[in-house]
Amino acid sequence: MEYDKVWKKYSQAELKKLEKINAEYIDFLSNGKTERECVDEIVNMAEAEGYVELEKLIASGKKLKIGDKVYSVWMNKSVVMFKIGKKPFSEGINILGAHIDSPRMDVKQNPLYEKDDFAILDTHYYGGIKKYQYVALPLAIHGVVVKTDGTTVEINVGEDPDDPVFFVSDLLIHLAQEQMEKKASKVVEGEDLDIIVGNKPIVFGNDVKAKDKKDEKEPVKKAILQILKDQYGFEEKDFLSAELEVVPAGRAREAGFDRSMILSYGQDDRVCAYTSLRAMLDLPTCDRTVCTILVDKEEIGSVGATGMRSKFFENAVAEVMNLCGEYKSELDLKRALARSCMLSSDVSAAVDPNYESAFEKKNASFLGGGVVFNKFTGSRGKSGSNDANAEYIAAIRKVYDDAKISYQFAELGRVDLGGGGTIAYILALYGMNVIDCGVAVLNMHSPWEATSKADVYETYKGYIAFCKGMDL
C-alpha cells in the first residue's frame, strides 16, 4: 500500500503548529516521568482550560449541561476527563484512552544496604525491559514517601543540572569474558539492578570520641540515611510506604540533524496520553460527549485500583451521567457504554532499519508514516487481543479520510515473533467498538524511545477528528 508522505503535505503554517505542539510535548515528557507527575501535569492543564473536579460538583449538587468540562482523579495515578456533548449518553460517547505508566525500576520496600563501601538501593523492575539497557547510565529517582503521620514527601532527584544522579554499575569489558558468553537475558539479571547512591562514610565532628568513630557499622549507609533525614525528612522504615521510581535522568530531546524526531524516556505511552489530552483540551463541544482516560498499570496488565480493569472509569461515567440527569438505572450506563466508540491510544512498533527482519513490511508501521492503527495486538495467533470489527474500521477510515489524516495499518512485528497487549480488550468488555490507534515508536521500552514529530502531530489531529466525527 502506498502511504502519502506525511512530512511533504504540510504547509509552512502547519509546520509551525506541528513544532509548537511538539515543543509542548517535550515539556510534558520532561516534567511527567511517573504516573503521579503526569496526573499533576494533566490536572494543571485541564484546570487552566476550565475543567472542574467531579467530586467538587457532586458535593455542590451542581448539574452538568452541554459544553461542561469535568475531570476525576483516582488515587493520584489515573485521571478521566469528560466534555459534555449535545447528544444524550444513551446514544453513546467517544472515548480516547492511553496509559501514563512506563517501564522502569521501582525501589524495593527494604531497599538500602551497604556493600564494599557503597550505599545501594535494591530495585524490582516494572514492566518489560531489557535489563542490560539499564546499567551505566545516569538515573533519576522520582516518587513519594508517605509517612505514618499521613504526610507525603515528594522526591525528584536527578533532573535538575545541579542534582546528583544515580547509576547501576556494569562490569568492565576487560574482565567481561565470561559475562559476554551469557544469553542477553542473563547478562544482567533482575536482582542485580541495584542503584549505587553513595560512597562516603558518615563524618563526625571533633566532639565524637575516637573509639565511637571506629565502632561505626555501615558508615556509608548511615551517611545516606542522615542525608535522607536532613534533606527529605524521612527515615529508613519509611521506605516501606514509599513509591520511588528509578528512571533515566534528563529531558526529552529533539533528534536528528533535521530535528524530525523526539528521543525520550517514557514515550510508551505518554505520546498517546499527551496527544489525547491536547486533543481533548482543544476540542469544541461535540455532538457526542467526549471522554479521555489516562490510566496507570498498563505495563503490568492493567491491574490494581488505578489500572484500566478497575471500576473507577465506569463509576465516573455513572456519576457524570447522574449529574447530567441521565442515570435512572444501571441499564442507562450499560446502554451508554455499549453504544460508545473508543480509540485505545497506544504505541506501535516502528520498522527498525537495523532489525528489518522482525517485521513484515506490508503490515508494519513506519516512523513518520502517520497515525498507526492496530486491528489487533496479542501473540500466538492474536491471542489476548481485541480484534476490531471491520464495520468500525470502515467508519473510522471515513472519518480520517474526510479530515485528511495520514494513517497506516500495522501489526506488532512478524507473526509468532512475540507480541504485546493494550487496554483495548478491557473497554471492549462493555460491548463497545474499540481499536488500537497511536504512534509508531522506535526502541520501544528502552531507556530512550524515539518518535516522529509528524506522527505526534498527525495523531493529535486524528484524535480530534475522531471525537468530532465518530458516530456509529
Q: State the nearest-atom distance from the C-beta of 138 to Mn ion, in Å.
A: 23
- Which is closer to Mn ion, CB of 112 or CB of 272? 272
Q: List Cβ neighbours of 166 (8 Å cut-off, separation of 6 or more).
A: 121, 138, 139, 140, 141, 157, 158, 195, 196, 197, 246, 249
Q: State the nearest-atom distance from the C-beta of 298 to Mn ion, in Å.
A: 6
HEC secondary structure over the chain: CCCCCCHHHCCHHHHHHHHHHHHHHHHHHHHCCCHHHHHHHHHHHHHHCCCEEHHHHHHHCCCCCCCCEEEEEECCCEEEEEECCCCCHHHCCEEEEEECCCCEEEEEEEEEEEECCEEEEEEEEECCCCHHHHCCCCEEEEEEEECCCCCEEEEEECCCCCCCCEECCCCCHHHCHHHHCCCHHHHCCHHHCEEEEECCCCCCCCCCCHHHHHHCCCHHHHHHHHHHHHHHCCCHHHHHHEEEEEEECCCCEEECCCCCEEEECCHHHHHHHHHHHHHHHHCCCCCCCEEEEEECCHHHCCCCCCCCCCCHHHHHHHHHHHHCCCCCCHHHHHHHHHCCEEEECCCEEECCCCCHHHCCHHHCECCCCCEEEECCCEECCCECCCCCCHHHHHHHHHHHHHCCCCEEECCCCCCCCCEECCCHHHHHCCCCEEEEEECEEECCCCCCEEEEHHHHHHHHHHHHHHHHHCCC
- Which is closer to Mn ion, CB of 188 or CB of 272? 272
- Which is closer to Mn ion, CB of 245 or CB of 268? 268
35 binds Mn ion (CB under 5 A): no
Report the interhelical angle of 35-48 vs 267-282 (nearest 10°).
10
Stretch of 170-178, 233-241, 260-268, 280-288 lying at the interface with Mn ion (CB under 5 A)? 260-268
- Which is closer to Mn ion, CB of 269 or CB of 458? 269
Q: State the nearest-atom distance from the C-beta of 180 to Mn ion, in Å.
A: 29
- Which is closer to Mn ion, CB of 289 or CB of 386? 386
Stretch of 338-346, 374-382, 383-391, 462-470 lying at the interface with Mn ion (CB under 5 A)? 338-346
Q: Which of 37, 101, 159, 268 forms a contact with Mn ion (CB under 5 A)?
A: 268
Stretch of 75-83, 115-123, 266-274, 371-379 lying at the interface with Mn ion (CB under 5 A)? 266-274
Q: State the nearest-atom distance from the C-beta of 37 to Mn ion, in Å.
A: 18
Q: State the nearest-atom distance from the C-beta of 445 to Mn ion, in Å.
A: 6
Distances (CA, A) of 152 to 142, 148, 232, 233: 13, 9, 10, 10
* # chain residues binding Mn ion, by CB under 5 A: 3
Q: State the nearest-atom distance from the C-beta of 156 to Mn ion, in Å.
A: 23
Stretch of 77-85, 232-240, 340-348, 411-419 lying at the interface with Mn ion (CB under 5 A)? 340-348
Q: State the nearest-atom distance from the C-beta of 308 to Mn ion, in Å.
A: 11
- Which is closer to Mn ion, CB of 68 or CB of 269? 269
Q: Which of 35, 101, 114, 269 forms a contact with Mn ion (CB under 5 A)?
A: 269
Q: Which residue's beta carbon is nearest to the bound Mn ion?
A: 269
How many Cβ atoms sit within 10 Å of the Cβ of residue 249?
23
Q: State the nearest-atom distance from the C-beta of 401 to Mn ion, in Å.
A: 26
The CA-to-CA distance between both ends of the chain, in Å, stands at 27
Q: Which of 341, 396, 344, 409 is nearest to 370 (CA)?
A: 409
- Which is closer to Mn ion, CB of 114 or CB of 269? 269
- Which is closer to Mn ion, CB of 129 or CB of 155? 129
Q: State the nearest-atom distance from the C-beta of 136 to Mn ion, in Å.
A: 23
One symbol per residue from 341 to 360: x for binding Mn ion (CB under 5 A), - otherwise; what is it?
-----x--------------
Q: List Cβ neighbours of 311 (8 Å cut-off, separation of 6 or more).
A: none
Q: State the nearest-atom distance from the C-beta of 269 to Mn ion, in Å.
A: 4
Q: State the nearest-atom distance from the C-beta of 347 to Mn ion, in Å.
A: 5
The β-bridge partners of 442 are 450
Q: State the nearest-atom distance from the C-beta of 444 to Mn ion, in Å.
A: 7
Contacts with Mn ion, residue ranges (CB under 5 A): 268-269, 346
